[in-house]
Structure 1
Amino acid sequence: MNTSLRFEPGAPHRRALAFVARCTGSAMLSSLAAGALGLGHPVWAVVSALVVSQDTAVDTRQAFVWRVAATAIGLLVAVVVGSVIPDPAPNRSLQLAIAVTVCAVIARRWPGLRVSMWTAPIVLMTTIPENGVLRAAVERGSEVLLGAMIATVLHLALDRALHIRGATRQNLPST
């Protein structure tokens, strides 16, 4: 029997299984939760859950913090730009140019905030003029934060359930 194909329980296998389960579970739960809450674009909950999911609990928590900060900046920039520059179609490119410029300046200094560069355009491009940019920002922010929270909680819960502790990127298997 070829032993290289056998599954042998241990921390590296539990870590790999936990990562796959977290990503899959986070995507599914985020989609279901966003749908149940009636959020308009559940895809952002799913994307956010997958962006936040990392190999270790420490990395996931760090990704969550940066994701929340970057989302807040992108939302703020979108609301300011969308409020100052009217929304009719000819101005959309101007809105995007200004919003991305502001977020890129911030992200150049703090690379962990690069997600703000796509958050602001997403808000501006999903704004329905009758509802306004603030409503779009609240909705997109809710979707992103929902997915990020689900992924972070699921990561911690699965690591505890599988008794995975103290793993760092340096001592993870290369498989």
Structure 2
Amino acid sequence: MNSAIDLGRPVAGDVIDLILDDHRLFERLLAQLRDTTQDRDAVRVAFADVLIAHGEAEEELVYPALRRASGQVDKEDVEHGHEEHAEGNQALLALLELKGTKTQAFDDAVEKLSNLIAHHIAEEELTILSPAREEVNERLRRELGAKWAARRNELIDRGCGAITNVRRIVAQAEREGVLSDA
């Protein structure tokens, strides 16, 4: 984990609020990746850790629980969220594999990643999180929040954004056919 950049360490709360907090963190970190006055390599490493931890914890714990508890969060929404996570992870891998941060290739990779993440955030907030806030009781959302936060923090502590792990995650998505046009 990159300790120079604060990724937050939530421990409790409504899972929807915690996920939304991470979405805002993604937006701030992506803005820093576009800013040539920042330590873009440090930001890239921090972004990789939080993006992978967030998505993995969401898919393991949150999506299945929200699908069971909400009549409005359906299988297709969850599968689409999984596909968008895989696409974001693939774009993240392309960014991590670049050698420098002061190249047009880096800027292009940041742009692609930013666009994918912005699209996913908007869609997830509209089709999964908003319905879940209405359909899923607060007690369950708080229980999920504690579990999700613990798993997210554990994954960050393990350095889940390391390039070898991101490669493994992307390769698994390819094997599962989630990245069919990869």
TM-score using structure 1 length = 0.32
